[in-house]
Amino acid sequence: MEQKMKLGILGTGMIVKEFLPWLAGADSPFQVQALCSTQRSVPLAAELCARYHVPQCTTNYLELLQWVDVVYLAVPNLQHTRYAKVALEAGKHVIVEKPMAPTAAQTEELAALSRHKRVFLFEALTTQYLENYHKIRELLPRIGTVKLVQCNFSQYSSRYDAFCAGQVAPSFDPNCAGGALMDLNVYNISYIVGLFGEPNRVNYAANIDHGIDTSGILTMDYSGFKAVSMAAKDCGAPARYVIQGTKGYLLQKSTANYCGGLTLHLNDGKEEHYNLNGGRPRLAAEFEAFARAIEGGDQELCSRMLDTSIAVSRVLTAARRSAGIRFPCDQ
């Protein structure tokens, strides 16, 4: 049996608990070798390691790096840059949970460091690796000239009531680079930028409470068409993604992180339906792509995806600036 690359995970949050059953399973391209947590989270980390047969559990990040080939960073946004730099300097391949970094400057710094060290750096953002997303790109020419794009990722956060009561989780904390833009709208932005590139201009109209956006509407201005991207953590609504062209439109009723089934509707009334993701966990496609790239030395894929991450990060930074939202790391 071919030996799998050893993966270390930093963090024990919701995303780790969602992904670990698959990452530690037989279908994963990685062997989860170690889990690193804060001292406060040691009981949870120990329980996860025992349940999913992860050999090593530690609170020492440098120790974790000694045991693994690849590290997956699943910590609050503000910590991404610091931990990624340490791993890259140590010659480890790095997978960073979205967003890559709190600012465009930090994302560019990480990309430059990974290229200098000749190690792989990926942003864990499922959208662009899913088969349905590839199908959207394939179908785009059939709807003619694109005129409008609409994205809505709104879900009432399980932590919003606590936030209103003064208990601020990292995803609602400007000091942790949280907010609806960074947590949810980043998926919409990646969805749009992956298809159409970086926009000419952006503007973010946000509902701001205690210095953080709990919801907002992002407008992205492209040459020839406009994109509107909504995201909310303070209210919910059905997901709706529509790309409208002169010959028809593409419709999805699933959030961008799942990129579910889609419908092609043409002006002559013809409809076609597609759902190619295969019912697997949403992270499967991206982690398989990461493993193939690292094992095959596919620097071209890594560089292309880094360029997309940089473009997305530029949009995020410009959007925050337009809404007056500041993080501690802003220059």
Distance CA 294, CA 5 (A): 9
pTM for the complete prediction?
0.96
Asked if the model's pLDDT at residue 176 lies above 90, the reply is yes
Check residue 67 and give its pLDDT. Answer: 98
Average pLDDT, the chain: 97
- Mean pLDDT for the stretch of residues 221-239: 98
Spatial strand order of the sheet with 93-97 comes to: 56-58, 30-36, 5-10, 70-73, 93-97, 121-124
Tokens of 267: 């002006």
Residue pLDDT, tens place only, 233-253: 999 999 999 999 999 999 999
Average pLDDT over residues 8-19: 96
% the chain with pLDDT above 70: 99
What's the pLDDT at 228?
A: 99
Q: What is the mean pLDDT of residues 10-37?
A: 96
pLDDT, average across residues 126-155: 98
Q: What CA–CA distance (Å, rounded) separates 320 from 47?
A: 38
pLDDT in the model for residue 232: 99
> What domains appear along the chain, each with residue ranges and CATH number?
5-119 (3.40.50.720), 128-283+313-323 (3.30.360.10)
Using the predicted structure, report yes or no on whether residue 81 has a pLDDT greater than 50.
Answer: yes
Average of per-residue pLDDT across 228-236: 99
Mind listing the pLDDT tens digit for each residue in 295-309?
A: 999 999 999 999 999
Q: Which of 186-190, 217-221, 275-279 has the lowest mean pLDDT?
A: 275-279
pLDDT at 83 over 50: yes
Mean pLDDT confidence for 72-83: 97
Task: Determine the Cα–Cα distance for residues 57 and 4; give it in Å rounded to an integer.
Answer: 19
Q: Give the model's confidence band at 279: pLDDT under 50 very low, under 70 low, under 90 confident, else very high.
A: confident
**C-alpha distances out from residue 95 to 8, 114, 121, 280, Å:** 10, 11, 6, 20
Asked if 177 and 212 touch (Cβ cutoff 8 Å), the reply is: no
Q: What is the mean pLDDT of residues 16-20?
A: 95
pLDDT above 70 for 1: no
